[in-house]
């Protein structure tokens, strides 16, 4: 963490006292830390304490003097290598999720180009409330990393999930993040994501339930490690915000195949996370099929080309191809067979039988299987953390 620049955001929670421990840990490891705090945070810990520990004046107001000078949230956002908000209250999380920039902390967050880590702290019922979970899901979709709170005794003296993670654990998460920042620098990674839509007529298609969340998380995880990412995305509503990600949008399996074949030769690796349709209508109708004209509709389907097998056959020495297998039964057998048949270097198995995994969820549970037959299980986590584990495995394969 030496010479890394960190914005430490502190909000109005009893857990604000832990921010002093965090700050001291960062400074001891050689980081430069700028504290930004809300008005409510000053009720729990003084700016004097934090300024003394950081060696910098604490920022909490837009205007600290009446001489026309002001604190630039834009400059702060450009300065930082990472931003950590710990503790993050329900109010601040809601403002971040909805772009309500009514204080210095949230305006700095909205201007920050660096990765953002959020450590929630609140009562168990507040944390479990659907509105809070929706806001956290929103922040995750923006690419923020949520440091899950722990279970324990809370300020209300109730016991449950909502206690801010301990400072040592949070410091370790950031230290691991900075350690991995450059291990894919100079590498070019192709990632496919989302479903494909195969036209039946101008208004109907064959598709699947893939949301694209896992593929977009993988693209972001590789970009965070310094890779230049080529993201080929099927029809999804997700946003790829990292500047190292270049996005190509496609609709059908054939369009994704053409794009992948064109991009892959210049890549160091490909992660094929898209849920590509296996079949497409043989003859899509040029006009809308009218229900009243046909009592029964029969579709003749033809097989799409296998993109993973194509790239597995194309790859040159030194290139790495990672595939995915979504199975409902005999997952290990089918995934291992697919790994060999398609000449992949790694296959990521997940199952629709696992609660919280698969299409549409913000979480996933996987098993990574390499060419040597080594299996690495990853427990249920949010998809960003799962993506980070897969990116770490990719680093070892490229070495």
Q: What is the pLDDT along the chain (399 residues), one digit of tens a residue?
A: 888 999 999 999 999 999 999 999 999 999 999 999 999 999 999 999 999 999 999 998 866 655 555 556 778 878 888 999 999 999 999 999 999 999 999 999 999 988 899 999 999 999 999 999 999 999 988 889 999 999 998 888 999 999 999 999 999 999 988 887 788 999 999 999 999 999 999 999 999 999 999 999 999 999 989 999 999 999 999 988 788 999 999 999 999 999 999 999 999 999 999 999 999 999 999 999 887 766 788 899 999 999 999 999 999 999 999 999 988 888 899 999 999 999 999 999 987 777 766 676 788 899 999 999 999 999 988 888 899 999 999 999 998
Q: Are 162 and 121 in contact (CB under 8 A)?
A: yes
If you search the block for the tokens 């934090």, which residue do you land on?
Answer: 50
Report yes or no: 161 and 149 within 8 Å, Cβ to Cβ.
yes
Closest CA to 25 of 46, 53, 3: 53
Instruction: Report how far residue 84's alpha carbon sits from residue 264's, in angstroms, rounded to the nearest whole number.
Output: 36
Crossing angle of helices 253-263/307-314, nearest 10°?
Answer: 20
User: Residue 21: exposed, middle, or buried by beta-carbon count in 10 A (0-12, 13-18, 19+)?
Assistant: middle
Predicted TM-score (pTM) above 0.85: no
Cα gap 245→189, rounded to integer Å:
10
* Residue 302, both tokens: 């033809």
Residue 176: which residues within 8 A CB-CB, separation 6 or more? Answer: none
**Which run of H or E residues covers position 377?**
strand 375-382
- Whole-angstrom distance, CA of residue 173 vs CA of residue 177: 6
- Where in the sequence numbering do the catalytic residues fall? 208
Residue 254, class by beta-carbon neighbours within 10 Å (0-12 exposed, 13-18 middle, 19+ buried)?
Answer: middle
Helix, coil or strand: residue 272:
strand
**Contact of 45 with 20, CB cutoff 8 Å:** yes
As a whole number of angstroms, the distance between CA 237 and CA 234 comes to 9
Residues 192 and 322: their CA atoms lie apart, in Å, by 11
Using CA atoms, how far residue 373 sits from 324, 346, 379, in Å, is 15, 9, 19
Radius of gyration of the chain (CA): 24
Strands annotated E in 28-94: 32-37, 82-88
CB 357 within 8 A of CB 363: yes
DSSP structure class, residue 195? B
């Amino acid at each position: 963490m030496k010479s890394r620049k960190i914005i430490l955001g502190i909000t109005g929670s009893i857990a604000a006292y832990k921010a002093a421990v965090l700050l001291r840990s960062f400074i001891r490891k050689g980081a430069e830390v700028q504290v930004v705090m809300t008005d409510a945070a000053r009720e729990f810990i003084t700016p004097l304490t934090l300024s003394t520990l950081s060696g910098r004046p604490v920022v909490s107001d837009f205007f600290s003097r009446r001489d026309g000078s002001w604190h630039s949230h834009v400059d702060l956002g450009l300065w930082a290598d990472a931003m950590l908000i710990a503790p993050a209250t329900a109010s601040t999380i809601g403002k971040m999720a909805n772009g309500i920039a009514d204080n210095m902390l949230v305006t700095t967050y909205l201007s920050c180009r660096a990765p953002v880590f959020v450590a929630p702290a609140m009562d168990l019922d507040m944390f479990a409330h659907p509105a809070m979970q929706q806001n956290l899901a929103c922040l995750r979709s923006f690419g923020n990393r949520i440091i899950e709170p722990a279970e324990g005794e809370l300020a209300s003296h109730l016991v449950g999930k909502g206690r801010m993670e301990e400072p040592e654990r949070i410091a370790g998460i950031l230290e691991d993040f900075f350690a991995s920042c450059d291990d894919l620098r100079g590498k070019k990674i192709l990632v496919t994501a989302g479903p494909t839509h195969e036209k039946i007529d101008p208004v109907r298609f064959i598709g699947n339930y893939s949301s694209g969340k896992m593929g977009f998380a993988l693209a972001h995880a590789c970009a965070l490690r310094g890779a230049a990412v080529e993201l080929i995305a099927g029809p999804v509503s997700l946003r790829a915000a990292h500047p190292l990600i270049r996005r190509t949008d496609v609709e059908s399996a054939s369009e994704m195949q053409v794009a992948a074949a064109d991009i892959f030769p210049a890549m160091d690796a490909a992660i094929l996370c898209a849920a590509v349709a296996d079949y497409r209508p043989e003859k899509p109708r040029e006009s809308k099929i009218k229900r009243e004209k046909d009592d029964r509709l029969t579709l003749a389907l033809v097989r799409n080309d296998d993109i993973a097998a194509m790239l597995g056959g194309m790859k040159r020495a030194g290139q790495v191809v990672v595939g995915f297998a979504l199975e409902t039964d005999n997952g290990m057998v089918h995934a291992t067979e697919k790994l060999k048949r398609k000449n992949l270097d790694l296959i990521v198995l997940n199952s629709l039988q696992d609660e919280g995994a698969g299409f549409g969820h913000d979480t996933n549970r996987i098993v990574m299987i390499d060419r040597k037959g080594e299996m690495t299980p990853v427990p249920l986590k949010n998809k960003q953390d799962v993506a980070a584990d897969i990116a770490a495995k990719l680093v070892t394969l490229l070495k």
